[in-house]
């Protein structure tokens, strides 16, 4: 805190001055360090609109070493003039003097001297005027006395150009506090990862550690064929209703499909096949063509499995983490868009036991070790299971994901071998993120109500295993 006496004196001086006061002058008149006055100014500013202060740079002119020599002995050109006797001086002799070369050119420019090249023994220098006035020296003497105002800017710059005068800031005469190189600096402005992206990075790392390959998920728009029909989901299913799905108006329809695969999908829906009786309804291409915002990333899994079936089969492990869209009623735990985490494994002879084993491995890496499985129904998996974990905080079992074995009616039309099974599971990204960061309302995590300070201050994600 600033000394109260200094603060009071500063206020009195400001009150008496019409155009303000200079802090350097106040410090000099009071005989105190300038930083004491700066502290008093900042203390007054902290109290509110009591005073206003402007930061100004203070500069002054001072003579260089050469300028000081000239102020004492005279300019080079004046000394050249004084060195020439009435009978003249050989130019070669003049150039031997320390000031001869510079002084000669300046004296010639001022027309103080002349050169006679007709003399025997080489050019000879003579005085061209009787008397001279050494204005350079006079100007430097004025600066030396502190009378900077006696010189205009052009004169100052001319002397500065000759390196006789230099402009210096007042800081050169000040005593500075030593640097504390151990002090923490101000954190630079930088980007910050959203909590969702932090948790996503951890999930992605877990999949990669387990040997999975990430699927391309950059197509938010999907045809109903890949989103529903290829998964053996009937066209009358409630999930395909406008109340659950966002349909596009432009472009409203998709037109490019693998025709032979499309015909096999149509047949298994309407007539059955591959050991299934199908759904026994009139499957329509118009319904399959409708473009939508994908409702799950399983549409991407379907595309990848179809691509896999077009070549010699090799076991694969795929995963994806990306956005999906559903026409949900918005509340504290539901939004119209969210992130789905999905894992898919395709290999010969996989069973429900393999699915349970890989789920235990996956959730153990998340720090979840107590698991239960409950039979469930999905149109494209059979058998299907909901995955529950025991929540130590809530002291109860909570659902953490869904899983199952893809149905033959989905896989065999793609062209995969009959003895190949595909197991899969999925969960949302938002729920574990909310639990990890203690967020109760999903609208505080995603959307226009998000507090950006929460994004800046959020710690890195570490899923305890």
pLDDT digits (tens, 9 = 90+) for 123-164: 899 998 989 999 989 988 888 877 777 788 888 888 888 888
pLDDT at position 152, please? 83
Distance CA 288, CA 48 (A): 69
Is 176 exposed, middle or buried (CB count within 10 Å of its CB: 0-12, 13-18, 19+)? exposed
- Say if CB 65 and CB 57 are below 8 A apart: no
pLDDT at position 400, please? 82
- Inform me whether the pLDDT recorded for 465 exceeds 60: no
Comparing 423 with 378, the larger pLDDT belongs to 423
Comparing 171 with 423, the larger pLDDT belongs to 423
Closest CA to 76 of 154, 129, 156, 137: 137
Residue 323: beta bridge partners? 339
| Predicted TM-score (pTM) above 0.85 | no
Give me the half-sphere count of Cα atoms (radius 13 Å) on the Cβ side of residue 229. 29
Termini Cα distance of the chain: 51
Distance CA 157, CA 451 (A): 56
- Neighbouring CB atoms inside 10 A of 444's CB total 15
Distance CA 45, CA 51 (A): 6
Average pLDDT over residues 323-342: 81
Average pLDDT over residues 243-271: 91
Residue 46: beta bridge partners? none
- Cα-trace Rg, the chain: 44
Average pLDDT over all residues of the chain: 86
């Amino acid at each position: 805190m600033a000394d109260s006496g200094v603060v009071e004196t500063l206020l009195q001086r400001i009150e008496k001055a019409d155009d303000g006061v200079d802090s350097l002058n106040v410090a000099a008149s009071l005989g105190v360090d300038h930083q004491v006055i700066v502290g008093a100014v900042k203390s007054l500013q902290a109290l509110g609109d009591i005073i206003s202060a402007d930061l100004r740079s203070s500069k002054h002119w001072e003579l260089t070493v050469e300028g000081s020599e000239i102020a004492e002995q005279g300019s080079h050109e004046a000394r050249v003039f004084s060195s020439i006797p009435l009978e003249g001086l050989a130019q070669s002799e003049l150039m031997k003097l320390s000031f001869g070369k510079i002084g000669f050119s300046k004296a010639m420019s001022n027309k103080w001297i002349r050169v006679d090249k007709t003399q025997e023994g080489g050019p000879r220098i003579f005085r061209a005027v009787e008397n001279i006035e050494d204005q350079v020296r006079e100007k430097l003497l004025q600066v030396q006395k502190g009378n900077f105002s006696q010189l205009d800017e052009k004169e100052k710059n001319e002397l500065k150009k000759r390196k006789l005068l230099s402009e210096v800031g007042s800081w050169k005469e000040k005593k500075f506090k030593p640097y504390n190189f151990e002090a923490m600096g101000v954190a630079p402005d930088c980007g910050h990862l959203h909590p969702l992206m932090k948790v996503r990075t951890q999930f992605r790392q877990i999949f990669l550690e387990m040997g999975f390959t990430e699927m391309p998920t950059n197509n938010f728009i999907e045809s109903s064929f890949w989103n529903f029909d290829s998964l053996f989901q009937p066209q009358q299913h409630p999930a395909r209703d406008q109340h659950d799905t966002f349909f596009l108006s432009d472009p409203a329809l998709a037109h490019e499909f693998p025709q032979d695969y499309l015909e096999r999908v149509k047949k298994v829906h309407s007539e059955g096949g591959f050991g299934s009786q199908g759904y026994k309804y009139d499957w329509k291409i118009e319904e399959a063509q409708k473009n939508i915002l994908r409702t799950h990333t399983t549409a991407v899994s379907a595309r990848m499995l179809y691509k896999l079936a077009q070549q010699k089969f090799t076991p694969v492990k795929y995963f994806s983490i990306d956005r999906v869209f559903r026409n949900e009623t918005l509340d504290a735990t539901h939004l119209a868009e969210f992130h789905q985490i999905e894992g898919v494994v395709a290999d010969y002879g996989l069973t429900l036991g393999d699915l349970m084993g890989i789920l235990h491995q996956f959730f153990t890496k998340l720090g979840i070790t107590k698991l239960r499985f409950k039979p469930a129904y999905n149109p494209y998996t059979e058998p299907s299971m909901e995955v529950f974990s025991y929540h130590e905080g809530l002291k109860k079992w909570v659902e953490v994901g869904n899983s199952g074995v893809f149905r033959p009616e989905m896989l065999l039309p793609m062209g995969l071998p009959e003895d190949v099974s595909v197991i899969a599971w999925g969960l949302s990204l938002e729920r574990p993120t909310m639990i990890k960061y203690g967020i109760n309302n999903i609208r505080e995590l995603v959307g226009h109500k998000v507090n950006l300070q929460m994004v800046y201050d959020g710690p890195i994600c570490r899923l305890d295993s």
